[in-house]
Amino acid sequence: MAHPSHDPFHLAFSEPSWDDLRIFLAVVAHGSMNGAAKALGQSQPTVARRIRALEETLGIDLFQRGPNNLELTEAGRAILEAASPMGEAASIVARTASAHRPDPDAPVRVTATSSVALFLSLHSAELHKAAEPVEIAYIPTRRKLDLASGEADIALRMRVLPEGTDELVARKVGQIAFAVYATTEDPASVIAPPEDPTLSRQAAYVAEFAQGRTIAARIGDMPIRYQAAKAGLGAAFLPCWLGDRDPDLVQVMKPEGDLIEDVFLVMHRRSRSRPNVTRVANALAALFKRNHKALAGG
């Protein structure tokens, strides 16, 4: 067998360094070496030199260089596809490390859907007083943030908890009911959610209600949907705590069955040792308890 150094078919390229791949990802993300240099706190010549070094290590050209632009080569696109998960993994590692050595004075981050986050915002002064001197950061999103890697400290989640929750601690804090509201008792039009009715119970419910009526608009964001219903655009699917308190809206279909959802307060197990997180969690649980009747549509 030929020795690798004498084998004409053996490519003696060494493995690229992560630092050079990180710079490559930054150049792609920012569209230029100058943009990447600013983002990374390095000089443009340094970035250019490291990209050249990476190309030499890999034995390929990553970019086609024009007078005022960079364009990925076919090989560059393949390297981008291979390297992107490494960048995501590095970000997760950093967040995970931060989650295990949290700043005791950092704000406690609470993630929830927009409907729950809006409810919390209306009681934010009350929550602030109960949790002070702890600061609370609200993260409204439908995406389930990863508590294990430190994307959030507390999650308020509806109905079904994610699988594989051995490291998570969950407690039911209440229920939220939803119903259809409009400015008239027999609305001719409906504001529908944008998602496929086969993928969402709420969307399926609205699709059934919309039979024989005009779809006036499709609005996914609940606060905007509420404002559109209030303006008379059509009937909208809203949380009862919001629709019932508005004198301009009437409930045209009552909440029942799947339209009454359990709410769980979820934390990672290590959060039990963080007094600030526990303090905010207790304040949230108390808030839901005090408002259980309005939240449940009672």
CATH number, residue 37: 1.10.10.10
Domain boundary residue among 65, 100, 135?
A: 100
Mark whether 193 and 273 lie in a shared domain: yes
The helix or strand, by DSSP H or E, that contains position 265, with its residue range, turns out to be: strand 260-268
Give pairs for 183-188: CB < 8 Å, separation 24+. Answer: 183/229, 183/230, 183/232, 183/248, 183/249, 183/250, 184/250, 185/250, 185/252, 186/252, 187/213, 187/234, 187/235, 187/252, 188/213, 188/214, 188/234
Mark whether 92 and 115 lie in a shared domain: no
Are 40 and 26 in contact by the 8 Å Cβ rule? The answer is: yes
Interatomic CA distance for residues 205 and 183, integer angstroms: 19
Mark whether 94 and 230 lie in a shared domain: no
Q: Which two tokens stand for residue 130?
A: 């109960």
Please tell me the predicted confidence (pLDDT) of residue 6: 40
Interatomic CA distance for residues 96 and 26, integer angstroms: 22
This prediction has a pTM of 0.64
Mark whether 133 and 256 lie in a shared domain: yes
DSSP annotation of 68: S
Please tell me the predicted confidence (pLDDT) of residue 190: 94
Domain boundary residue among 56, 75, 100?
A: 100
Mark whether 215 and 234 lie in a shared domain: yes
Mark whether 142 and 77 lie in a shared domain: no
Q: Which two tokens stand for residue 232?
A: 């008379």
Mark whether 128 and 226 lie in a shared domain: yes
Q: Which two tokens stand for residue 199?
A: 């993928």
Phi, psi of 172 (to 5 degrees): -75, 125
Mark whether 177 and 295 lie in a shared domain: yes
Mark whether 152 and 49 lie in a shared domain: no
Domain that holds residue 34: 4-100
Mark whether 161 and 37 lie in a shared domain: no
Q: Give the C-alpha distances (Å, rounded to integers) separating 11 from 4, 14, 57, 180.
A: 8, 9, 11, 66
pLDDT per residue, tens digit, the chain (298 aa), is 334 444 444 444 568 888 888 889 888 888 888 888 888 888 888 989 999 998 888 889 999 887 777 889 998 889 888 888 877 776 666 666 555 556 667 788 999 988 899 999 999 999 999 888 888 999 988 888 878 777 889 999 986 665 445 788 889 999 999 999 999 999 999 998 887 766 677 788 888 888 999 999 999 888 999 999 999 999 999 999 999 999 999 999 888 777 888 999 998 888 877 888 999 999 999 999 999 999 988 7
Domain boundary residue among 56, 84, 100?
A: 100
Angle of CA points 92, 96, 97, to nearest 5°: 120
The total number of structural domains that make up the chain: 2
Mark whether 125 and 209 lie in a shared domain: yes
Q: Kindly report the CATH number assigned to the domain that includes residue 160.
A: 3.40.190.290
